[in-house]
A and B are shown apart, each in its own frame.
Chain A
Amino acid sequence: EDSSSNILSEDQNENAEELPASTSAGLEDPRLLRRIQLCGPPLAAPPDSVDRSKRNDPQTPWQLEADEISGNYLLGIYTLRGRAGLQRLDQLLHADNVELNEAEGLAIVPNQFTYSEAGLNLWGGAGRFDIHADSLEVDRTEFRLFPYHQGAARRLLSTGAEMARIEDLRYSTCPPGEEMWLLQAGSLEINYETGFGTARHARLEVGGIPWIYTPYLRFPVDDQPRTGLLPPSFGQSESDGGHFTLPLYIRLAPNYDLTLAPTYYSRRGEKIGGEFRYLRPELEGEFTAEYMDSDDVYTEHLSEQGHADPDKPRWAVDWQHSGDLPYGIDYGIELERVSDEDYLRDFSSDLVGSSGTELESKGYAEQSIGNHSWEAEIQHWQNLRPGSDDPYRHWPAIWYEHNPGLLPGNLEYRLEAQAIQFELPDEAKEEGDAQRPTGRRYHINPRLSWPVHRQAFFLEPALSLHHSHYDTTNHLPDDHDGDSPFAEGKLDRTVPIASIDAGIFLERPFIFGQRPFLQTLEPRIFYLYAPYEEQGQFPIFDTGERPNTVAQLFQENRFSGVDRIADANQITTAVTTRLLNVTEGSEPFRASVGQVHYLHDRRVTLPEDQDSEELSRSRSDIFADAELRLPGDLNLRAEHRYDPHRDEPVATSFSADWQYRPAPRTLLNLSYRIREEQDDDDTSIFERTQDYIEASGTLPVDVNWSLVGGWQYSRLERTNLEVVGGVEYRSCCWAVRGVSRRYRRGASGELENTIMLEFELTGLTRFGDDTESFIKDIVQDYDEAVF
């Protein structure tokens, strides 16, 4: 029964420096490793280094120690006097005296004490600990939270893992004593669940100079790069001039918040932006809107183009909503619209945002019960390229799928059906376009197959039926002399398809670099029969060519989409070889080559290939594709389509992506892409349509300084698409980043320069443009290379 192990260390007044820097599992996050590099060991042990739920576990003892312990063991009331100590799992309390009520789990510390637990170190003048509720209340305290939150307060209340409330606070994430910035606040509430801290009457001091007073301040507490306080942002670009945004955050309720962000552009004028977020158990969403009464730059641009009413308001709306209804129905709304087609180019900070050719908005609902599932959507597009055709709208579209999977006798059955109303905007219909009818398309496709998959071979005979019904109307432009190539009104088509897919798997083991590999050889044969059904005049809504890969040769329909169901009497043969790394279970290399042997000429085509002589050929082009994935993140991929009749290539694409990470904070991405295709109109011309190099990366100069860069170059047009250069100085609790960007903007293609500046108080907030998310778009896996 003797248990007098030395629980509490003799020396009572430890401070943070002596606490061992915990090297528990929680420290793999590169962001944190980088901060340890800059700030030294964390100020407290990681909160997840212990299982908090074990604290109230009956098996977990409280270990008390003092010069004198008196009390009543039946009632569980103890008084500890003289160098008192209380320990429960990771919680360690040192004080001169402690009053302990074991039944109610209360420890009262009348005077000077130090307290530490996983995630927190604390010095206090007096304190009250509710041990059962895992909460504490401390007066005149100095605290240090994992990893680098520190400060002092008149009063601190913390309810275990949920919430901490601190009054008359001095707070910073800079090392104690070297506070480059300091936040003073009347009160601060840290909610660990939402991961946000909200301060009231906050005064921010930077470099000793009072900078900002704000009645309300919200910031992320767990170092997640989240937009807590939406910082005043400023920046500079040729088209906008200088811009300055001052956001105002309004917390309406625990799960509703509104952020208003007025922005002033020196050359464009004022814009008001707002973001309303709501979160309820059964639904959640985010509604963002921007509105500008008049944009001087755009007004001038329109009046130069002789626009009748150039001074128009400009706006953008983005609403993402999702929720669930009874009976397991999930629904969602995605609304994205802008006032004019140049809006994204003018106001989105990166190329990706501004390169969209259309914006999709849709409302959808889906449900799956057992083997049945359906999805319905109402969807339409905003076309941002006036010259090009408007994509079809689904007004609405319904898909149904029945998938009982394996039936007795190893039979497999599935059925897919769809009903879509293809619509176009009214102006497009009035203008009229013979090639673009509107109307309804129903399609149903039951499929029955007998899959036999074994290690040595596979065999899958299958019967499938495609039945389509159209009900469409044409929209001919007034000056159109003839009529539309597509028939109107009700059209029906039924095409049964029979197919047998079979293949055998050969392999041979071999050793390469003392490691076991397997090379496989997989010949495959696919017989496909489908009778010819007249459908030359059926409308084309969403059907086109299939991609140029071998796998596509084994599809039931030669076309991608159901507006054309191809006639077929053909045999596809192909062979694939793979290299398998047996130890890691990876596939460093794969290559396939395949070809179709036609036993009968084809008659179903897309309108543009009506008289193509390929239809009467006895053999298709030869397709080949290969992929090489080498260790050290080098991936090569090639696709090639070759025409044996004319003995010339039809289409080739090659891409190489390489990522090189030789040392911490060093990352280099290189990718090269070539694409060559036959010209659609004149197939004798085989031209390079894309020749593209992209490089991006980051390089440390020293502990604090690092460089980042990005470069996109089109060798075809011999021009830079985008050049980005940036530099960052990062210290323990603040950082400054500058990024300059030179890119080709819009069709006119003139080069545009923008400079972005950002000042970061690590863990609290940022001022300036959000260069971090911009750099993440430019440099792939940037946030993994932060350390």
Chain B
Amino acid sequence: SDSQPRPPIEVEADRVDMDAKSGISIYQGNAVMTHGEMRISGDRIEIHTTEEGELKHLIVIGQPARYRDLPEGEEQEVRAKASRMEYYVSGPERALFFGDALFWQGQDSLSGDSVFVNLETQAVKAQGNDDQRARAIIYPGQREER
């Protein structure tokens, strides 16, 4: 996937509970994580790290939880929001959004009960349920500008 090393991860919040043994730290209250161009925010961010302290994955809860990133070679930011979000650094690098999920770039948008985004292949999947169907709004005419 991306060749250069990723920039450092910074996280801030009102309160932090670090548990070095299990490698889980929980940031509560206006939690915001920035990781290069990626920015994640929510009421609670739970970060899971490997033994070496590398970020493995994180879980975000919020009203709503928000995600923003600028994929390589793209001029327009990709953004998302949902009640709950999971981000996995590898295997593949992906972001999963649950609960009134909405994922959009420019005017194009994808929504549903859950939206999965493979950040390496840009593959997406939205799934609906009975009261909220999977839905997409796309503007083919603007494809050239993007």
Contacts and interface: CB of A to CB of B under 8 A. Distances in A.
A and B touch in the complex (CB under 8 A): yes
B63 interface: no
A59 B136 CA distance: 15
A1 B101 CA distance: 12
Contacts of B123: 70-72
B140 A65 contact: no
B135 A7 contact: yes
A73 B85 CA distance: 20
A73 B105 contact: yes
A61 B139 contact: yes
Nearest to A102: B140
Interface in A324-380: none
B2 to A, nearest CB: 15
Interface in A23-79: 56-76, 78
A57 B138 contact: no
A750 interface: no
Given A59-B141, A102-B138, A105-B140, A67 B127 contact: yes
A56 B140 CA distance: 9
B141 A2 contact: no
B124 interface: yes
B133 A76 contact: no
A83 to B, nearest CB: 8
Interface residues of chain B: helix, strand, loop or mixed (majority)? strand
Contacts of B112: 69
B134 interface: yes
Contacts, number: 96
B122 A66 contact: no
Contact of B124 (A62, A66, A72, A83): A72
A73 B125 contact: no
B102 A1 contact: yes
Q: Which of A7, A60, A70, A105 gathers the greatest number of chain B CB atoms within 10 Å? A: A70
A141 to B, nearest CB: 25
A4 interface: yes
Contacts of A103: 140, 143
A68 B104 contact: no
A68 B108 contact: no
Given A4-B111, A66-B133, A56 B141 contact: yes
B103 to A, nearest CB: 8
A107 to B, nearest CB: 11
B136 A78 contact: yes
A76 B138 contact: yes
Given A61-B137, A65-B134, A76 B124 contact: no
Contacts of B105: 73
| Contact-size category for B | 20 to 34
A388 interface: no
A3 interface: yes
A2 B141 CA distance: 21
Contact of B102 (A2, A65, A102, A132): A2
B141 A57 contact: yes
A66 B134 contact: yes
B142 A58 contact: yes
B141 A67 contact: no
Q: Which of B71, B141, B143 gathers the greatest number of chain A CB atoms within 10 Å? A: B141
B99 interface: no
B126 interface: yes
B128 A66 contact: yes
Nearest to B139: A61
B107 interface: yes
Given A3-B109, A7-B135, A78-B136, A68 B143 contact: no
B96 interface: no
Given A61-B107, A72-B121, A102-B138, A67 B133 contact: yes
B134 A67 contact: yes
A73 B110 CA distance: 9
Given A62-B138, A68-B127, A69-B110, A76 B122 contact: no
B50 interface: no
A61 B138 CA distance: 6
A58 B139 contact: yes
B132 interface: yes
Contacts of A65: 133-136
B134 A69 contact: yes
A600 to B, nearest CB: 81
A7 B104 CA distance: 18
A63 B137 contact: yes
A64 B139 CA distance: 11
Interface residues of A, number: 33
A325 B74 CA distance: 57
Given A76-B143, A103-B143, A64 B124 contact: no
A198 B90 CA distance: 62
Contacts of A66: 128, 133-134
A70 to B, nearest CB: 4
A69 B141 contact: no
A71 B124 contact: yes
A64 B136 CA distance: 5
A69 B136 contact: yes
Nearest to A76: B143
A54 to B, nearest CB: 11
Interface string A1-27: 111100100000000000000000000
Nearest to B103: A73
B141 A64 contact: no
Given A1-B109, A2-B102, A70-B123, A58 B133 contact: no
B138 A3 contact: no
Interface in A546-582: none
Contacts of A63: 135-137
Contact of A68 (B74, B107, B109, B126): B126
Contacts of A3: 109, 111, 137
A69 B127 CA distance: 6
Nearest to A81: B134
A191 B4 CA distance: 59
Contacts of B110: 69, 73
Contact of A69 (B71, B107, B122, B135): B135
Given A61-B139, A62-B138, A64-B136, A69 B126 contact: yes
Contacts of A7: 135
B133 A62 contact: no
B7 to A, nearest CB: 23
B77 to A, nearest CB: 12
A76 B126 contact: no
Contacts of A78: 136
A102 B126 contact: no
Contacts of B104: 1
Contacts of B122: 72-75
Contacts of B109: 1, 3
Contacts of B121: 72
A208 B71 CA distance: 66
Contacts of A61: 107, 137-139
B65 to A, nearest CB: 15
A43 B135 CA distance: 30
A410 to B, nearest CB: 57
Contacts of B138: 61-62, 64, 76, 102
Contacts of A131: 140
A58 B128 CA distance: 28
A109 to B, nearest CB: 17
Contacts of A62: 136-140
Contacts of A74: 71, 74, 122
A68 B137 contact: no
Q: Which of A67, A70, A73 gathers the greatest number of chain B CB atoms within 10 Å? A: A73
B134 A68 contact: yes
Nearest to A67: B128
5 contacts: A3-B111, A57-B141, A67-B134, A72-B124, A76-B143
**Across the A-B interface, the 5 shortest Cβ-Cβ residue pairs:** A58-B141, A70-B125, A64-B136, A69-B134, A74-B122
Interface of B: 71, 74, 79, 102, 104-105, 107-112, 121-128, 132-143
Given A7-B135, A67-B128, A102-B143, 6 more contacts: A58-B141, A70-B123, A70-B125, A73-B110, A76-B140, A103-B143
